[in-house]
Homo-oligomer: A and B are copies of this chain.
């Protein structure tokens, strides 16, 4: 049941960052979408040619224009948190539906939000956390979808079914060791994103202090030890997750908890003990989940892969858009 007449008019704020470029690419080939505007707040970006899109998109990047944004039915925000926190209330006021890729509206608890996303002073009405596989009903009704961060997307898709089935032994550690391609560090040139600093190297960062941990803990309701790393590839995340399960948990119970949860989820592929690799999901909206279980020690190691720019950002944003519009979830994402 489509609740919007096709094509749906959408605008993108922040179309020249890596997530924004991906969004523009996906929306441009989405059969039910009309791109009314693709904007950039960075002065030089607005005139930057986008050679990869030549012949497939005939539009032009324009400077950020708040008035024009309010004329669209949907606005995708692919801007930093502070800009999103600033733009969203005005758009909601104007009746525009907002799909926000920033972290501004992900954290419900005010104190926690103030710690990690200080620019966001207020959580508007009608906000839904955009993990479609676990929050579909709220998303369908939402005025603003706060798309999950790339790292939480992978971690929560793996852990939520086990948590909900009561299979996690919470007296032991939940460790999420995440490895991300460099596009996850954004398009801004810096020592951190210089080719020569990453080629043939890798590094941990944000150890015990990365704000994505707040999202994981909010959704799971338990403490998570989370360390992200940058690995020398462009796009993709692999997370290795270490947990202990409750006494009596069998391999079958683990498989069933995951299988039941995702039996109708078109973008989650359970690979069992054939562990996923980034190559299998790059450039797709899939999340692949595999695991190895040591029953004697009740140790469970899960390996999860997504493309950080697709399922971890732009693809998931489009998936949310599809859900709100009543389109098939996979529209424009195959």
Interface residues of chain A, those whose CB is within 8 Å of chain B, are: 18, 29, 49, 51-52, 54-56, 172-173, 175, 177, 179, 181-183, 187, 189-191, 193-205, 207-209, 223, 225, 227, 229, 231-236, 238, 240, 242, 244, 266, 269, 271, 274-284, 286, 288, 292, 294, 297, 299, 301, 303, 334
Contact = CB atoms under 8 A, between A and B. Distances in A.
Nearest to A191: B189
Contacts of A201: 233, 236, 277-279, 282
B204 A240 contact: yes
Interface centre among A223, A232, A276 (most CB of B within 10 A): A232
A180 B32 CA distance: 37
A208 B279 contact: no
Contact of A187 (B194, B202, B283, B284): B194
B187 A18 contact: no
Task: List the 4 closest pairs (A to B, CB-CB), nearest first.
Answer: A201-B279, A189-B189, A203-B277, A182-B195
Contact of A202 (B18, B183, B231): B231
B208 A196 contact: no
A190 B175 CA distance: 32
Given A175-B242, A202-B277, A208-B299, A231 B234 contact: no
Contacts of A236: 200-202
**Number of copies of chain A assembled together:** 4
A195 B183 CA distance: 8
Contacts of A49: 274
A257 to B, nearest CB: 19
A233 B232 contact: yes
Contacts of A187: 194, 196
Nearest to A334: B29
Interface centre among A189, A195, A202, A244 (most CB of B within 10 A): A195
A195 B195 CA distance: 4
Contacts of A196: 18, 181-183, 187, 193, 234-235
Contact of A207 (B183, B198, B282, B301): B301
Contacts of A286: 55
A297 B198 CA distance: 32
B242 A242 contact: yes
21 contacts: A29-B334, A49-B274, A51-B288, A52-B280, A52-B281, A173-B175, A173-B242, A177-B177, A179-B202, A181-B200, A182-B199, A200-B235, A202-B233, A202-B238, A203-B276, A204-B238, A207-B303, A208-B301, A231-B232, A232-B233, A242-B242
